[in-house]
Amino acid sequence: MGRTLPVLVTICFIAALTTLSAPAHAGGYSAIVVDADTGRVLHAHEADTLRYPASLTKMMTLYMAFDALKDGRLKLDQRIPVSAHAAGQAPSAIGLRPGQTLIVRDAILAAVTKSANDATVALGEAIGGGSEAQFAAMMTRRAHQIGMTSTTFRNASGLPNPGQKSTARDMATLAQALLKNHKNYYTYFSTPEFEWNDKVFNNHNHLLKRYEGVDGIKTGYIRASGFNLVASAKRDGRRVIGVVFGGTSVTARDNRMIELLDTAFDRIDDHNAPVMAEKTDRNFGLISSAEATTAKPVKSRQVKPRTEAKASGASNGEWAVQLGAFRQAAAAEKLLDRVRGKLPAAEPLVETVDAGKVTLYRARLTGLTQADARTACQQLKREKMTCSVVSPDA
């Protein structure tokens, strides 16, 4: 048993999202979902906590570019210079060289799809009189004008800067402003790919293909922020905007956004419904262990092994470790699937739980002794994972 625990911890830890090495306020989970037409908040969790926006910053750079196009300061077919500063930006990049020129339309598409920092900075310098710092000050002023009162920008791209911060609520405000004030240019955000200099760059926003109705907007990642996403989706004439900060993988971030959008569309016409309660920790969709452990199960099932290495049916005890409770059965099964076979004395189990207004799916490792269950959960908690020890009498 002792030899298998480090493996269990590693696999569970990866499956349930790793913690970020970053300042205390950075990389944490924030989310908000709003009705794009009315601004009504459908869901919020730490929506006003300052986070690093990463490449969500490019949404503001593009907003500024659309402002300039709208009032004639820029033209789509205009060529803008590429400075040494712009060309020297860290990836993502499309490989611009100092002294080149770039068409404004291409700079926009490079920012939207590849999230190219070199093209984005060249665009910002063109608007900011040749200075990215001056452009960032302009971005901040304009952001405050449209209601992003908690946001400060320090660069055009979203590359790491300790002074560059925003909130989930402010990013939702920016998304609404893009839809309202730059409807004609908003369609750029749904561009699936961009071809430039004999190279094709695919859009980083996977939800454009994964989720019906999504037509934007932007992904972002730096180490201090985790994986961020602002998504906008329209179904049956109704549009919602979702913001997620702090994902620890692309897949986890995207899956969390899908959960939020699904729930929002289910609730958008219920004007008496309260704001969705957030009872997750860093593991998106994972309900608090205490609540999920005490909720009444309505049914349970063993998770069948997919390989020859079956989980042993001969348990050496009646204690269990609960790895999480999820709103989707597939999430519970996926977590258990990753640890299957690593604890021969444990039986993977998914229980369907009636938790009042929602149905939860608990992922448990059962058939453990008290000592083994406690040891496993203590180790998981040291790795910042949520778990609980379940006694035979629970």
List per-residue pLDDT tens for the chain, 394 residues long.
444 444 443 334 333 333 333 333 346 899 999 999 999 999 999 999 999 999 999 999 999 999 999 999 999 999 999 999 999 999 999 999 999 999 999 999 999 999 999 999 999 999 999 999 999 999 999 999 999 999 999 999 999 999 999 999 999 999 999 999 999 999 999 999 999 999 999 999 999 999 999 999 999 999 999 999 999 999 999 999 999 999 989 999 999 999 999 999 998 987 766 666 554 434 444 333 333 444 444 444 444 433 322 333 333 457 888 877 777 777 777 777 766 655 555 677 888 876 565 677 788 888 788 888 887 767 656 655 566 788 776 5
Angle between helices 117-127 and 104-113 (to 10 degrees): 140
Q: Report the catalytic residues.
A: 55, 58, 115
Alpha helices in the chain (DSSP H): 5-15, 57-70, 84-87, 104-113, 117-127, 132-145, 168-181, 183-186, 207-210, 250-267, 289-294, 329-339, 370-382
Dist CA 140 CA 154 (whole Å): 8
- pTM recorded for the entire structure: 0.67
